[in-house]
């Protein structure tokens, strides 16, 4: 290896240390740090992010990347390092255009906006958050103007989370869903399945945590490379394939919430644990395409976890840990975990009406960035869209526009990835059926590890090195389409609710 390459690797190691600390601070802030300690955490995170940003935009790195991209150096690199050089050079050129003081101000404003959002949500008072949201919109606009001056603004934001999935493609996919699912959901909710109080009895948080580990072990999350902690809103963070951390929130009277969060975050975790370890701590590692990442968490949570056959081998164990389930038949359990109803909160929605929660947010983001709808008009627009898609209107903003964290740190363009993930899942389910045989039968026989291994080999191993459309075309052999998801919904819910 050349001297240049050695220097480059050493430089990367320095960057990685800052990232490691930033990650750890984030994890601690969300799990352990007391309220009064948060401000100092935000300060420290701002400092380390800024240091890392300075390294990632320094002339020294630019010179190395330029030289490594020249044929005599580049051709000597293996595929992985060629990818790393290409990707870092691209990111370098984009980030270089953001003035350092703008970036630092942005990181600080993100932290303040997050705090204001939490306060506004707790008080259900949009006015506390409005000035921060306005600032996030302005700053995101400004930064996107630097990084992607030639792209249409909202498409540039979509690219940030799911490269190549532009709004023309998303419009086509979401329109297909709207056309097919609006009438299906109306038929289902007209059947009015009543609330079942047996699912809302007191459930010891420690027992819920044991259920979480039982599920994580069952689906294939590795303990020696994984950790679990408690937080307000569950998320997963990974330091490398050898250190992946999931979180959960245990509601004392709603154990199903933690059960499905456990499976969801476990799906993210399994993905990160099974990336090619040669990619650890480089831009080739953990997949940064959110639609692809969500496709894995949502595959475990919904396609597998909300399938009756998933529970056949472990339902008795669930009853041992949470005794109320001993009194509930698996059929009743299955019906409850697929209870379709129009509701206010995205994260608590069933997998079917969930689609509308995302379509609504996607349209809101277009209203913000394309139609320039002012911030003060957004709560009313939100409520109108809730009425259009779900026939209900939130009683307050904390049930409405204040419910999600994403806009508070300017992650505009993120929401569509959740639904893209489900769309990919419909396609993956088809492909697994063709290659491994019936998923129902595999699950009923307790052979879920074969499905996990298939996902490891076909998707997880590649980490961040393939773009979303490339992943789907390589694995499924066809273009992205919403048709398999729609077919899955119609078959499954047609059967449960007796609607055609």
Q: Among all residues, which ones are annotated catalytic?
A: 265
Residue 425 Cβ vs Zn ion, minimum distance, rounded to whole Å = 12
Element (H, E) at 48: helix 38-56
C-beta of 46 vs 297, nearer to Zn ion:
297
State yes or no: residue 302 binds Zn ion (CB under 5 A).
no
Q: Which residue is nearest to Zn ion (CB)?
A: 297
The region of 73-81, 216-224, 295-303, 483-491 touching Zn ion under the rule CB under 5 A is 295-303
Is 247 in a helix, a strand, or coil? strand
Asked whether the CA dihedral 160, 164, 165, 171 is positive or negative, the reply is: positive
Among 155, 297, 338, 481, binds Zn ion (CB under 5 A): 297
Q: Look at residues 342, 363, 415 and name the one whose alpha carbon lies nearest to residue 184.
A: 342
Residue 297 Cβ vs Zn ion, minimum distance, rounded to whole Å = 4
The region of 173-181, 251-259, 296-304, 345-353 touching Zn ion under the rule CB under 5 A is 296-304
C-beta of 220 vs 394, nearer to Zn ion:
220
Q: Look at residues 276, 256, 259, 272 and name the one whose alpha carbon lies nearest to residue 216.
A: 259
C-beta of 229 vs 441, nearer to Zn ion:
229
Q: 124 Cβ partners below 8 Å, 6+ apart?
A: 396, 397, 398, 399, 402
Size of the site for Zn ion (CB under 5 A): 1
Residue 418 Cβ vs Zn ion, minimum distance, rounded to whole Å = 7
The region of 1-9, 42-50, 214-222, 291-299 touching Zn ion under the rule CB under 5 A is 291-299
Asked if 426 and 488 touch (Cβ cutoff 8 Å), the reply is: yes
Is 350 in a helix, a strand, or coil? coil
| Cα gap 119→417, rounded to integer Å | 27
Render 461-499 in DSSP notation, one character per residue: GGTTSS-HHHHHHHHHSS---SHHHHHHHHHHHHHHHT-
Residue 56 Cβ vs Zn ion, minimum distance, rounded to whole Å = 26
The region of 125-133, 178-186, 206-214, 290-298 touching Zn ion under the rule CB under 5 A is 290-298
State yes or no: residue 110 binds Zn ion (CB under 5 A).
no
Residue 354 Cβ vs Zn ion, minimum distance, rounded to whole Å = 12
State yes or no: residue 247 binds Zn ion (CB under 5 A).
no
C-beta of 297 vs 383, nearer to Zn ion:
297
State yes or no: residue 261 binds Zn ion (CB under 5 A).
no
Q: Look at residues 336, 356, 342 and name the one whose alpha carbon lies nearest to residue 418.
A: 356
- Per CB under 5 A, residues contacting Zn ion are 297
């Amino acid at each position: 290896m050349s001297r240049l390459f050695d220097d480059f690797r050493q430089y990367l190691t320095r960057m990685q240390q800052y990232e490691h600390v930033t990650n750890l601070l984030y994890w601690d802030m969300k799990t352990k740090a007391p309220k009064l300690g948060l401000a100092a955490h935000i300060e420290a995170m701002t400092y380390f992010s800024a240091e890392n940003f300075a390294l990632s935009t320094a002339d020294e790195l630019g010179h190395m990347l330029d030289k490594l991209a020249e044929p005599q150096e580049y051709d000597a690199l293996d595929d992985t390092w060629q990818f790393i050089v290409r990707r870092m050079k691209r990111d370098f050129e984009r980030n270089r255009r953001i003035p350092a003081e703008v970036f630092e101000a942005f990181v600080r404003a993100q932290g303040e906006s997050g705090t204001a959002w939490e306060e506004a949500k707790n008080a259900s008072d949009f006015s506390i958050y409005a000035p921060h949201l306005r600032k996030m919109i302005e700053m995101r606009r400004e930064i996107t103007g630097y990084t992607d001056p030639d792209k249409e603004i909202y498409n540039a934001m979509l690219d940030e989370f799911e490269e190549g999935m532009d709004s023309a493609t998303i419009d086509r996919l979401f329109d297909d869903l709207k056309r097919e699912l609006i009438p299906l959901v109306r038929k289902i909710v007209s059947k009015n399945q009543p609330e079942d109080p047996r699912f809302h009895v007191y459930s010891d948080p420690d027992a819920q945590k044991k259920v979480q580990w039982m599920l994580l072990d069952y689906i294939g999350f590795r303990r020696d490379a994984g950790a679990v902690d408690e937080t307000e809103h569950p998320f997963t963070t990974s330091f490398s394939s050898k250190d992946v951390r999931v979180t959960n929130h245990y509601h004392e009277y709603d154990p199903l919430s933690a059960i499905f969060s456990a499976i969801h975050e476990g799906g993210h975790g399994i993905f990160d644990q099974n990336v090619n370890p040669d990619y650890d701590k480089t831009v080739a590692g953990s997949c940064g395409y959110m639609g692809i990442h969500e496709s894995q968490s949502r595959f475990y949570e919904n396609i597998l976890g909300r399938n009756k056959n998933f529970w056949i081998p472990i339902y008795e164990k669930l009853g041992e840990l949470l005794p109320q389930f001993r009194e509930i038949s698996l059929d009743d359990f299955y019906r409850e975990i697929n209870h379709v109803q129009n509701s206010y909160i995205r994260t608590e929605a069933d997998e079917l009406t969930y689609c509308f929660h995302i379509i609504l947010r996607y349209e809101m983001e277009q209203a913000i960035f394309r139609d320039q709808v002012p911030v003060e008009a957004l709560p009313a627009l939100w409520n109108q869209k809730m009425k259009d898609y779900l026939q209900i209107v939130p009683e307050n903003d904390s049930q409405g526009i204040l419910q999600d964290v994403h806009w508070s740190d300017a992650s505009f363009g993120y929401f569509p990835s959740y639904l893209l993930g489900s769309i990919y899942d419909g396609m993956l389910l088809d492909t697994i059926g063709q290659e491994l045989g019936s998923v129902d039968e595999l699950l009923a026989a307790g052979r879920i590890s074969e499905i996990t291994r298939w996902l490891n080999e076909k998707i997880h191993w590649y980490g961040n090195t393939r773009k979303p459309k490339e992943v789907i075309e390589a694995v499924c052999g066809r273009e992205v389409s919403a048709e398999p998801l729609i077919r899955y919904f119609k078959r499954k819910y047609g059967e449960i609710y007796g609607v055609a």
